[in-house]
Amino acid sequence: MAMLPIDLRGKRAFVAGVADDGGFGFAIAKSLAEAGATVCVGTWPPAFNIFQTLLRRGKLDESMVLRDGSKMELERVYPFDADYDTYADMPEDVRESRRYKEHGDVSVDGTVARLKADFGDAPNLDIVVHSLANGPEVKNPLLETSRKGYLAAIGVSAYSMVSMVQRLGPLMRPGGSFVSLSYLAAERVIPGYGGGMSTAKAALESDTKLLAYEAGRKWGHRVNTISAGPLGSRAATAIGFIGEMIEYCKQNSPIPQAITAADVGNMAAFLASPLGAAVTGTTLYVDYGYHAMGKTAPQPATT
């Protein structure tokens, strides 16, 4: 029987923002691997050694089993901090700190250099995933957010995507796919999601359109963002009310179901594949339709 496959054999992906097996980054890496891509990941330096230890000790083996029974192999794990475009941008106290010193240049530029050293100067990437965000004051209401905290949220969570497209675009073969991860807070009020993070997601979605135009005209690459429903990842749990959000969205979505990380992984694999060739500059919702609702749904009567 003829099938319409998501076939990424012969493609290489770089997934930035993987430090455990619980978040969207890992799920995207796994879906890309299921489709046949080879996968490199970028891990935040303070979490790098812990992640490597988990891998080495087999703690993630169960999560890495693919549908055919084989185990996902990560081609490379790079220490990566998207807060810095170049090594010169890293303050000396960061460079010399215990969690950074051994890794050297973990900037976006440094990672480009590592990819070239490992795979050659010719374009060697096809898929780049931006699965990272940080807002140091995310628990603060916007009215109580400092300028420094606000700009830090935008720098790590939004500008880093611009920097990655700018620097990794030339390393990608024609028809490359960039994907980032957004959240409904970019366009609706989510009380408790503060510190300028909602602003950063709005910037990310706006930049997706402009980057799609510029990268499309310059290299033929596509740029999209996935607005995912709430997931109880380690990063989300830090905000403190994720369980409530998951339940609320589940109860009020057109299809009353909570999303899984794999739902997002599969959308990213579709976008990276030839099946998504005409999709660019778009925010795609993976939330069982919650974004379409304007009022809470009637709840079944409880007895």
Domains in the chain, ordered, with CATH? 12-288 (3.40.50.720)
CA angle 42, 48, 54 (to 5 degrees): 110
Name the 3-class secondary structure at 225: strand
Residues found in the chain: 303
Closest by Cα among 286, 266, 300 to 30? 266
Query: Can you tell me the distance from the alpha carbon of 106 to that of 87, in angstroms, rounded to the nearest whole number?
Result: 7
Which residue carries 């330096």 as its tokens?
Answer: 45
Residue 225 has pLDDT above 90, yes or no: yes
Query: Can you tell me the distance from the alpha carbon of 125 to that of 37, in angstroms, rounded to the nearest whole number?
Result: 10
Query: Can you tell me the distance from the alpha carbon of 161 to that of 168, in angstroms, rounded to the nearest whole number?
Result: 10
- Residue 96, burial from CB neighbour count under 10 angstroms (0-12, 13-18, 19+): exposed
State the alpha helices, DSSP H only, in the chain.
24-34, 45-56, 92-95, 108-119, 147-154, 160-168, 197-219, 234-237, 242-252, 261-272
Which pairing describes strands 38-43 and 74-79: parallel, antiparallel, or unpaired? parallel
Per-residue pLDDT at 257: 92
Residue 3 has pLDDT above 90, yes or no: no
Query: Can you tell me the distance from the alpha carbon of 103 to that of 229, in angstroms, rounded to the nearest whole number?
Result: 34
pLDDT tens, 238-286?
666 778 888 989 899 999 999 999 999 999 999 999 999 999 999 999 9
Q: What percent of the chain has pLDDT over 90?
A: 88
Q: Are 279 and 223 in contact (CB under 8 A)?
A: no
Per-residue pLDDT at 234: 67
CA angle 267, 164, 278 (to 5 degrees): 40
DSSP 302: P
On whether the pTM is more than 0.85, the answer is: yes
Residue 81 has pLDDT above 80, yes or no: yes
Query: Can you tell me the distance from the alpha carbon of 161 to that of 187, in angstroms, rounded to the nearest whole number?
Result: 19
pLDDT tens, 145-195?
999 999 999 999 999 999 999 999 999 999 999 999 999 999 999 998 999
The catalytic residue positions are: 183, 193
